[in-house]
Amino acid sequence: MDELAGKAWKFGDNISTDHIAPGRFFHLRTNLPELAKHVLEDADTEFASKVSVGDFVVGGRNFGLGSSREHAPQIIKLAGVGAVLAKSVARIFFRNAINVGLPVLVCDTDKIDDGDQLEVDLENGIVFDRSKDIKLEFAPLPPAMVKILADGGLVEHFKKHGGLAIG
Amino acid sequence: MGLTLAEKILSAAARQDARSNEIVIVDVDVIAVQDGTGPLAIEKAKELGGKLAKPDKTILFIDHAAPSPRAELSNAHKEMRAYAKTSGAVLSDINQGIIHQRLIESFVSPMDVVVGADSHTCMSGALGAFATGMGSTDIAIAMVSGKTWLRVPESYRINIHGQFQPGVYAKDFIIYLIGMIGADGATYKALEFGGEAVSNMSLPERLTLANMSVEAGAKAGLFASDEKTRKFLESVGRADDWCEVKPDADGTYEKDYEIDLGAIGPMLAAPHTVDNSLKVIDAGGTKVDQVFIGSCTNGRIEDLRIAAGILKGRKVSSGTRLIVTPASRKVYMQASKEGLLADLVDAGATITAPGCGVCVGVHGGVLGDNEICLATSNRNFKGRMGNPKASVYLASPATAAASALTGQISDPRKIGA
Ligand code: SF4
C-alpha cells in the first residue's frame, strides 16, 4: 500500500488530542468504533460523517499535541484516513501513529486547500496535489520508524524480531 | 565532552555512551498507566505474551475517572483490578490519587528511566529521573520487555536567576516560559532547568515546571538531584532512594536561556492554547464561573496552603464555584490535619476526591456552555474540561484563590494575605 489517494480535509494549527478524542467521550475509550464516530469532533463537528476511506487529514503546525492517548491516531485510522499530513507533529502523537500503522507526513501543508484531491507516494516521499497540479516533498521518516511501519506497527515488529530491533 | 542530564541518565540506562540524536534501547525502571490508557496497554501486553518484566515497578493507576461516574468506566476499572491480580502489577485504586503525584511520592528515584502512558509523566523529571510519556503500545512493550527505544534528545538549558516577587510562583514562570518558546518550541527536546534560583527552589516548585515541560512539546523536563531532592525523599520515607545526579559542566546544549524570576508577574494561559500567555493585570475583570484548584501541576499541599491562606475567613464570590481537588490521598490527609480543608470549605469550596476528573473533563466539574473557568491545571485546549463551548484560563493557585474571592480574574498581589 505505497500509493494513497483521496480528498484533503484541512485543519488549522495546534489540533490537540482533545480535539481528536475529547475527554467527554472518555468512557468510549474501550469501544474504539464508537469513539471513532466522534473523531476530530471538537475541530469539525461533522468530520466523522463526511470523511471517506482514503481521505487525508491535513493539519498545520504541531498536530496532535497534548495527551498520550493512542486512541487519537487509532480512531483517525479507523475512520478510514490514509495518512495525516502536517507542517509539524507533536512527539507522542507521531510515535503513537507509527506504532498503530497510521502514516504521518511532514510537509508544507499551507499549499494544500480543503477539498483538494491528493495522491501520496509513500516510498518516494511525494504528495501530488491533483487539484493544483503541484508536488510537495515530505521529510523521510526516521529509520527506526520506517522499520516499525514496514513491520506493520510496533506490536508486529516486536513479535517478528522477538524484541525491539531498532538502533 | 561532558554530558547533559538527559545524556547522563540515558547512557547509564543504555549501558553505552548515549549522545543527543542517537537512538538507544534502554532499561526502564518504572512503568505507569492510568485508566484512560491502561486498558489498551493491558490488551496489547496480553497479546505479546503477558508476563511482566518488572511487576513491582509496573503501576496501574485508577485516577482519571475516580470514583467511576459511568458503567463503561467501572468495567474498565474491573479489568485493571483483575489484571493487577493475575500479572502481579501494582494497583493504585481510586482512593490513592493522581498518577504523577503518586509516582513521585512512592515510586520514582533519581537516575531512573520512567515511562508512562500519560503525557505528564515528565513531572518525575523534577527528581533527576528521565521520565517521558508514551502511548499504550509503547508502554505495553515496556511492560513485557522492561525496555523501550528512545532518541536521545538535544537539550535546552534554562538558567534561572533571581527571586520571585511576592505573589508570583513557579506556575507563573512556566506559563511565561511556554509563552516565550511556544507550544511546539521544544518538540523532541529536553528542557534542563538550572541556575542558582533552581538550587533554591523547593521540590514542589520544580515539579510544577517539569510537569508542564510537555506543554512546550518537550520530551522531558529535567532537574539535577541535590540536597533538596534528598530532603523531599526523606519526607516521604524514602531517604535511601536518593542519589546525586547532575549534568557535566561542559555538556553541549542546543540553546541556552537566561531568565530573571524577578521580572515575572502573575501570568495566565488564555484559551485555547497553553502558549497564549498573558499578564494577569491585562485580563483583570474577566468574570469567572468556576475556579479549579488541583491537578498534578498544582494540587499539592503547598498549593492548598497558598489557597487557604488567601481564602481563610473570607467567602468565595457568590457567582463563582470553587472546586478543590487534592492531588493524592497523602495530600488530602495532610490538608485535613492542617485544617486547610475546613478553611476552604468554610470559604465556600467544594472538595472532591483526589484524581483527574475535573482537569480532563470526565466528571466532577464539567463546564456549561460559554462558561469560563480559571484552573491551576496544565491544559486549556478546546473541550478540555468537558465542553468545547467553554473556555479555560490557567494560572497559579494564588491567582485562582484571589479570583475565586472576587469572582473575576484577579492579581493575588492586590488581595493581601
Ligand atoms: S491531573 Fe490532569 S493533567 Fe494531570 S494526569 Fe490527571 S488528567 Fe492528566
CATH of the domain at A138: 3.20.19.10
A26 CB neighbours in chain B (<8 A) are 36, 64-65, 73, 360-362
Atom of ligand 1 nearest to the CA of B359: 2
Please tell me if residue B281 touches chain A, with a CB cutoff of 8 Å. no
Closest Cβ–Cβ partner in B23, B76, B381 for A166? B23
* Contact (Cβ atoms closer than 8 angstroms) between residue B409 and residue B389: no
A30 CB neighbours in chain B (<8 A) are 39-40, 72, 75-76
Q: At what angle do helices B203-212 and B227-235 cross, to 10 degrees?
A: 100
DSSP string, A54-86: T-EEE--SSBTBS---THHHHHHHHTT--EEEE
**Ligand 1 centroid to residue B398 C-alpha, Å:** 20
DSSP string, A76-117: HHHTT--EEEES-B-HHHHHHHHHTT--EEE--GGG--TT-E
Query: Does ligand 1 have an atom closer than 6 angstroms to the CB of B298?
Result: no
| Listed residue (A19, A47, A155) closest to B145, CA to CA | A155
ipTM for the whole complex: 0.94
Q: How many domains does chain A have?
A: 1
Please tell me if residue B276 touches chain A, with a CB cutoff of 8 Å. no
**Ligand 1 centroid to residue B98 C-alpha, Å:** 7
Cβ of B138 and A99 within 8 Å?
A: yes
B414 grid coordinates: 492586590
Query: Does ligand 1 have an atom closer than 6 angstroms to the CB of B100?
Result: yes
At A124 the pLDDT is 87
B382 CB neighbours in chain A (<8 A) are 16, 18-19, 42
B40 CB neighbours in chain A (<8 A) are 29-30, 70-71
Q: How far apart are CA B42 and CA B21, in angstroms?
A: 31
- On whether residue A167 sits in a domain, the answer given is no
B285 - beta bridge partners? none
- The chain A residue lying nearest B68, using CA atoms, is A27
Cβ of A42 and B382 within 8 Å?
A: yes
From the candidates B25, B83, B187, B392, which should be mutated to test the interface with A, based on the most A CB atoms within 10 A?
B187
At B265 the pLDDT is 97
At B49 the pLDDT is 87
- The chain B residue lying nearest A73, using CA atoms, is B135
Domains of chain B by range and CATH? 5-260 (3.30.499.10), 269-414 (3.30.499.10)
Closest Cβ–Cβ partner in B25, B75, B382 for A167? B25
**pLDDT tens for chain A, residues 1 to 167:** 457 999 999 999 999 999 999 999 999 999 999 999 999 999 999 999 999 999 999 999 999 999 999 999 999 999 999 999 999 999 999 999 999 999 999 999 999 999 999 999 988 899 999 999 999 999 888 888 889 988 989 999 999 999 999 86
Q: Could you check whether the bond before residue B354 is cis, i.e. omega within 30 degrees of 0?
A: no
At B285 the pLDDT is 86
CA B150, B155, B159, B165 dihedral sign is negative
- On whether residue A39 sits in a domain, the answer given is yes
Q: How far apart are CA A67 and CA B133, in angstroms?
A: 9
SS3 B222: strand
Please tell me if residue B386 touches chain A, with a CB cutoff of 8 Å. yes
- On whether residue A78 sits in a domain, the answer given is yes
Query: Does ligand 1 have an atom closer than 6 angstroms to the CB of B323?
Result: no
How many other β-carbons are positioned within 10 Å of the β-carbon of residue B235?
A: 11
B366 CB neighbours in chain A (<8 A) are 24
B90 - beta bridge partners? B59
SS3 B68: coil
Query: CA angle, B295 as apex, B289 and B299 as ends, to 5°?
Result: 100
**Ligand 1 centroid to residue A9 C-alpha, Å:** 30
Give, as one character, the DSSP assignment of residue B321.
E
Please tell me if residue B329 touches chain A, with a CB cutoff of 8 Å. no
* Contact (Cβ atoms closer than 8 angstroms) between residue B412 and residue B168: no
- On whether residue A79 sits in a domain, the answer given is yes
Low-confidence ranges of chain B (pLDDT < 70): 416-417
Cβ of A164 and B149 within 8 Å?
A: yes
Cβ of B149 and A167 within 8 Å?
A: yes
Domain hosting A123: range is 3-161
Q: How far apart are CA B292 and CA B320, in angstroms?
A: 11
Atom of ligand 1 nearest to the CA of B295: 1
DSSP string, B158-208: EEEES-PPTT--HHHHHHHHHHHH-TTTTTT-EEEEESHHHHHS-HHHHHH
- On whether residue A166 sits in a domain, the answer given is no
- On whether residue A9 sits in a domain, the answer given is yes
- On whether residue A52 sits in a domain, the answer given is yes
Give, as one character, the DSSP assignment of residue B40.
H
Supply the residue whose CA is at minimum distance from atom 1 of ligand 1: B295
At A2 the pLDDT is 59
